[in-house]
Amino acid sequence: MRILLASEWLSPDTGGVARHVDDLANLLVENGYKVGVITRKKKERSKRKYMLFEVSRLNYLRLLSSVRGKGGVFEKIRDFQPDIVHAHHAFTPTPLFTLWAAKTFNLPAILTNHSAYFCDYEYLLKTIGYIGFPFRTFIEKADIIVSVSKISKNFIKHFTTKDVIVIPNGVNVTRFSPRVNGLRDQIDSDLVILYVSRIVRRKGPHLLVEALRYVRKRIPSVKLLFVGEGAFEEYLRRRVYDLDLRKNVEFLGRVPDKELPKIYNSADIFVLPSVYGESFGIVILEAMSSGLPVIVSNVGGLREIVKNNVDGIILDRNNPIEIYEKIMFLYHNKEFRNMLSYNARKKVLKLYDWRIILEKIENIYKRLIEEKASTLYAYQKLFN
């Protein structure tokens, strides 16, 4: 089977979509499939196990030339000749144009939605659904629509009349596993707190910095590690300076994927205090799979992953004082912390192992291809 994936983002781009598509492509190759990925052109992209098709930045206002022109999506599809197309993210040009082109070639097509904007404002979602008619035209081209969470399903249903299947993101449970190599012992601190995500306001890193000022009063040697980059980093660095937390906070920037397991194994607690806009949260799976107790805000898809006080902690108010209190509670209750870690790893193995997720996706591929073959056979029989 030849499978063509399409995504606006791909590593070294950061974010859940880029990670998901790269992981999926690599797993499909390991399972014996021929895989190609269409994405926008970027200088830093390295060689892959799968075929990489880069296109110039597509433009909604130049639809036909972007899709049909030399080096465009149509040309890539003709070159690769896929049996099925799987587009990722419903609101960016590259996957949407690829979806449209796939149906022009009469190829079975899947769209996975990774978004959940304004998920707490139903009236806004309805309005956006009506005015988003151009997106609806593209989205309806998909034979099957998948969402990574219930909250993202609720969002995308305002743009389609089709049923939506929920298949969550997955995590490599072998790569991200509880520490056994003593990495944590190399850090001279009584408590190491980890944040892995883009450094943007909606992810709540400022709340974590504000909470740290209180934690340090109780644990002077506490360390907070920020992994990621973003426009909010300059403000965050100034705030760290103003609060005299420079000895307690490290900005590690963008960390190569192969180094991430070591980072998780170097921490005691993982915190993601997002303010809004979380459709899922792959980093939560990575932390849980690594055996870290997690503290997350009560927004979007995060509350679908974590069960409060069973395999993680969900914040009620998501303010610095509450974050501080939850961190200190975990610090002083090692038995409870270990229970959360054990249950988190157990849940990930049962529900989010990439091998389980891949099987669900493969079943959709096979079903669509069989349906196309049956339709073609019936059509040929009718005219023979």
- How high is the pLDDT of residue 132? 55
CATH architecture under which domain 183-351 falls: 3-Layer(aba) Sandwich (3.40)
Band of pLDDT at residue 55, cut at 50, 70 and 90: confident
Segment 371-381 shows an average pLDDT of 63
Identity at 298, one-letter amino acid code: N
Domain ranges of the chain: 2-170+353-383, 183-351
pLDDT tens digits along 240-265? 999 999 999 999 999 988 899 999 99
Label each residue of the chain as H, E or C: CEEEEEECCCCCCCCHHHHHHHHHHHHHHHCCCEEEEEEECCCCCCCCCCEEEEECCCCHHHHHHHHHCCCCHHHHHHHHCCCEEEEECCCCHHHHHHHHHHHHCCCCEEEEECCCCCCCCHHHHHHHHHHCHHHHHHHCCCCEEEECCHHHHHHHHHHCCCCEEECCCCECCCCCCCCCCCHHHHCCCCCEEEEECCCCHHHCHHHHHHHHHHHHHHCCCCEEEEECCCCCHHHHHHHHHHCCCCCCEEEEECCCHHHHHHHHHCCCEEEECCCCCCCCCHHHHHHHHCCCCEEECCCCCHHHHCCECCCEEECCCCCHHHHHHHHHHHHHCHHHHHHHHHHHHHHHHHHHEHHHHHHHHHHHHHHHHHHHHHHHHHHHHHHC
CATH topology agreement for domains 2-170+353-383 and 183-351: yes
Label each residue of 45-90 as H, E or C: CCCCCCEEEEECCCCHHHHHHHHHCCCCHHHHHHHHCCCEEEEECC
Band of pLDDT at residue 380, cut at 50, 70 and 90: low
Query: Residues 46, 78: contact at Cβ < 8 Å?
Result: no
- How high is the pLDDT of residue 120? 52
- How high is the pLDDT of residue 347? 98
Question: CA 302, CA 285: separation in Å to the nearest integer?
Answer: 10
- How high is the pLDDT of residue 47? 86
- How high is the pLDDT of residue 14? 85
Percent of the chain exceeding pLDDT 70 equals 88
CATH architecture under which domain 2-170+353-383 falls: 3-Layer(aba) Sandwich (3.40)
Band of pLDDT at residue 41, cut at 50, 70 and 90: confident
- How high is the pLDDT of residue 179? 80
